[in-house]
């Protein structure tokens, strides 16, 4: 009986981790979304969008992309040596970020872009340091998103109740705690013990924690990263407000600030491929609850998914140009003549 009991968690983990479960969950979520929203009508509303408002929204999205580059670049430049300054110019960081957007769109795992940046930049500064900069950048963006969501929940408290307000407040607190723990990881993580278990793992963890220790010694870099992350997410919200106005929907920023984080959190459930279908369904449900029509809510969910597509296309062009560029010629070796 005990052996059967022990096998139950193993079977549960196997089922939850099965790719077929994710595919089935995605198909089911998309089917429910298709029954709840008139997808052709929502797509048609995008085709009749006001080009002036869409152009303004695209301009603000461009500003948000620049903010994301700055948010990550501040951290990666902090842990790089002065001799590596020429390798981490803002032009190169921007190109790398745009290329990562392309891979994020084409690889369903959602981490394809981070993997590309880790491989490319890790050759020069170390993979663990790049991962630390990506983790810090992601946490800064999440904190900005949660803070804007909390501000929106305060303004919409009478409509959404205290439950969502408390959930967003807890999310802000958890992210702050994670940031605090990461900045002190070199004092908390038993690196020596891990090195005894595996020298490679110990070296990787040491480099990761030392990167956050370097951020702790440069608080101005952390402050810049957090401020840019918060400002970038705010610009992104107002870009979506303009995009909503382009399709004839009057949606305020507090509504989007609350609904989008809840949709992204729902996408973390392990029953869908990269949250596809689940994210859109939850976003549409909350927007409809806020008084947005189902057609406009469906169109907005499509805009959220397609918002970064122009920049991903630009990243694809940059990636193809880099692949076609001729490899640098090997340095010639001069053999001294014999006397």
Residue 253: per-residue pLDDT: 93
- 145-169 pLDDT, tens digit per residue, is 999 999 999 999 888 888 889 999 9
Which residue did the predictor score with more confidence, 196 or 173?
173
Residue 293: exposure state from Cβ atoms within 10 A (0-12, 13-18, ≥19): middle
Residue 72: per-residue pLDDT: 93
Q: Where are the domains of the chain?
A: 19-321
Averaged pLDDT for residues 241-254: 92
Residue 240: per-residue pLDDT: 94
- Which residue in 95, 92, 84, 86 sits closest to 125, CA to CA? 84
Q: How many residues does the chain have?
A: 339
Q: What is the DSSP string of 31-80?
A: HHHHHHS-HHHHHHHHHT--HHHHHHHHHHHHHHHHHHHHHHHHHHHHSS
What's 277's DSSP letter?
T
- 91-115 pLDDT, tens digit per residue, is 999 999 999 988 887 765 556 778 8
> Is residue 58's pLDDT more than 80?
yes
Any idea which residue has 């927007």 for tokens?
287
């Amino acid at each position: 009986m005990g052996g059967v009991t022990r096998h139950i968690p193993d079977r549960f983990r196997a089922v939850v981790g099965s790719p077929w479960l994710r595919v089935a969950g995605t198909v089911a979520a998309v089917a429910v979304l298709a029954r709840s929203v008139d997808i052709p009508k929502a797509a048609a509303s995008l085709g009749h969008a006001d080009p002036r408002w869409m152009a303004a929204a695209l301009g603000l999205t461009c500003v948000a992309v620049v903010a994301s580059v700055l948010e990550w670049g501040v951290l990666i430049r902090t842990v790089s040596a002065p001799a590596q300054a020429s390798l981490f110019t803002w032009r190169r960081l921007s190109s790398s970020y745009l290329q990562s957007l392309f891979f994020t769109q084409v690889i369903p795992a959602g981490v394809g872009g981070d993997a590309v940046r880790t491989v490319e930049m890790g050759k020069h500064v170390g993979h663990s340091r790049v991962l630390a900069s990506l983790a810090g950048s992601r946490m800064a963006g999440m904190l900005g998103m949660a803070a804007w969501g909390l501000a929106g929940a305060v303004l919409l408290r009478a409509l959404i109740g205290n439950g969502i307000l408390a959930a967003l407040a807890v999310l802000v607190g958890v992210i702050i705690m994670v940031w605090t723990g990461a900045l002190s990881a070199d004092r908390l993580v038993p690196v020596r013990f891990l090195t005894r278990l595996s020298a490679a793992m110990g070296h990787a963890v040491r480099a990761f924690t030392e990167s956050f220790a370097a951020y702790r010694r440069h608080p101005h870099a952390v402050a810049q990263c957090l401020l840019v992350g918060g400002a970038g997410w705010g610009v992104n919200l107002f870009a979506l407000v303009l995009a909503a106005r382009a399709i004839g929907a009057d949606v305020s920023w507090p509504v989007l600030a609350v609904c989008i984080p809840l949709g992204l959190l729902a996408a973390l459930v392990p029953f869908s491929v990269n949250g596809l279908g689940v994210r859109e369904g939850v976003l549409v449900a909350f927007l409809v609850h806020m008084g947005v029509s189902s057609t406009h809510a469906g169109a907005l969910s499509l805009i959220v998914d397609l918002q970064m597509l122009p920049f991903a296309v630009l990243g694809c062009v940059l990636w193809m140009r880099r692949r076609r560029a001729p490899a640098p010629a090997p340095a010639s070796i001069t053999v001294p003549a014999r006397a």
